[in-house]
Structure 1
């Protein structure tokens, strides 16, 4: 086995597809391919996977991600219909222009960041993505928050409960929850108003209560379960497209994440979406220019 190989853990029944990130003695450091889980395992417990499509759990995770994206697209269409808008897709026909909430997305996994940015792009969410190790996120935010002035910050990557740690209320029992908490503290110090800056934080099995106490609006994981790679993205998009005068429907947004209410929770928060008039693209196309 070598770094970069796809593997599953035999002792867990091959429940999660991982990529080998590094080696530490006789242990392999593993990063989940579909779930934001950081784990380690002895070599002898690993089985190489050559075709991920043969794994039912991996196919199921991708199917759930496709379904989540479909729901997001449908929600955008319903939003346009509720507002009496002509089209939320072709902005050249709309009499208004849109100002969705701007996202700053920090991710400890480069592959997940790439997937996340693709989804933001498909749904036309203005977003900046930064790949950095979870331990560096607080320092990165110190530099980047004043530069980007985001409406929404996503702080995510990989996490997990350390083996043989029974006290789930202690941050020392988690692989990266302390790093996420420190990053949330920086973001909340930058903007104290939870409606002016929406913070979404955490990964698999993260310390949900600590993240909320630090100032996150939404966090994982109330049930200390695995969350899908796109769950933080889904919440961010809903925050971006919920009108600024409306409260984000917590029950609905969490129910439509892939992991559900055991994976993601949050507090009442106002949306960050605005519209304005006129749409200059429409205005310019309607003008008749006479050349004398």
Structure 2
């Protein structure tokens, strides 16, 4: 069966659990693969790959959309609870149907090594009402561009993500050489911390599938992947950034709650105590624009 760049495939050796797209064919006949919904890159020989037909593709896409919608509705439920609490704190009469205050949600700078994933994430930010500036670049270039982008965008939240993978054949989980892009992510975090050192002045998420969680946290990230070296969904960084963006700055982001609504859970994502960045103001006027 001939295979070409752009084909959707699964791997027999992993029970066809993940849907990949072929991104490159190496001279030795191996294929470079990119997860269609997971932030994972891999290599595989021709005999390990099964090309997916349109019916199977539609079935898998429907399953993924169902999972994403479930997470979205959980997030919206959390947001409604936050809004009710804000209404109570900011309104003299809690029974009022119209809030008397305005909100300034945290702005996100999202650096992504994959343009398709970046577009998917930007659509979700828009759906959630989170202001975002997105930039696509290679993972290895992020450390060179993050400082100037921080100066230009002035965000409260920075997301550094793309593709990653851990290879046991390349070393132990404590060996940075065993990871495809974890070291590049960590370097980008360090460069960002040179610009904004304080953990609560710039909230950073860093990592992708199977990333070196401990190194990313030590580098200065507030949230990172992947504690159990598992795969994470393309939208997981968005949900974490959105939760921080809509949590008032006087409150701590509850780690359990923030992980509960992700598709990967605490095997794929973790973090440290962090404040929210939402700011509220009064009075509310029709012409108020923030």
Give the TM-score, by structure 1 length.
0.90
Shift of 1:110: 1.1
1:147 aligns with 2:152: yes
State the superposition RMSD in angstroms.
Answer: 2.0
- Of residues 22, 25, 28, the one that matches 2:24 is 22
Distance in 2, matches of 1:22 and 1:52, equals 24
Gaps of 5+ in 1: 87-92, 285-292
Aligned to 2:175: 170
1:81-106 CA-partner distances (Å, limit 9, x unpaired): 122279xxxxxx54322101110001
Structure 2 residue matching 1:155: 3-state secondary structure = strand
Equivalent position of 1:83 in the other structure: 86
The answer to whether structure 1 residue 31 and structure 2 residue 34 are counterparts is yes
Question: Matches of 1:53 and 1:274 in 2, distance apart?
Answer: 46
Give ranges in structure 2 of 5+ residues lacking alignment: 92-97
What is the SS of the residue equivalent to 1:83?
A: helix
Q: What residue number does 2:53 align with?
A: 50
60-69 vs 272-281, greater mean Cα deviation: 60-69
Alignment of 1:38-117 (within 5 A): 38-51=41-54, 53=56, 59-84=62-87, 94-117=99-122
Alpha-carbon distance, 1:53 to partner: 4.8
Q: TM-score, normalised by structure 2?
A: 0.91
Aligned mates of 2:288, 2:183 — CA distance in 1:
51
Pairing of 1:245-256 with structure 2 (within 5 A):
245-256=250-261
What is the rounded CA distance, in whole Å, between the counterparts of 1:179 and 1:283 in structure 2? Answer: 41
Distance 1:271 1:196, change over 3 A: same
Which whole-Å CA distance do the structure 2 matches of 1:244 and 1:102 have between them?
A: 13
Q: Is the 8 A contact 1:16 1:57 kept in 2?
A: no
Question: How many pairs align?
Answer: 279
Report the Cα distance in structure 2 between the residues aligned to 1:20 and 1:280, rounded to whole angstroms: 52
Per the alignment, residue 233 of structure 2 pairs with: 228
In 1: Cα distance, 2:288 partner to 2:247 partner: 26
SS of aligned partner of 2:286 = helix
Q: Which residue of 1 aligns with 2:187?
A: 182
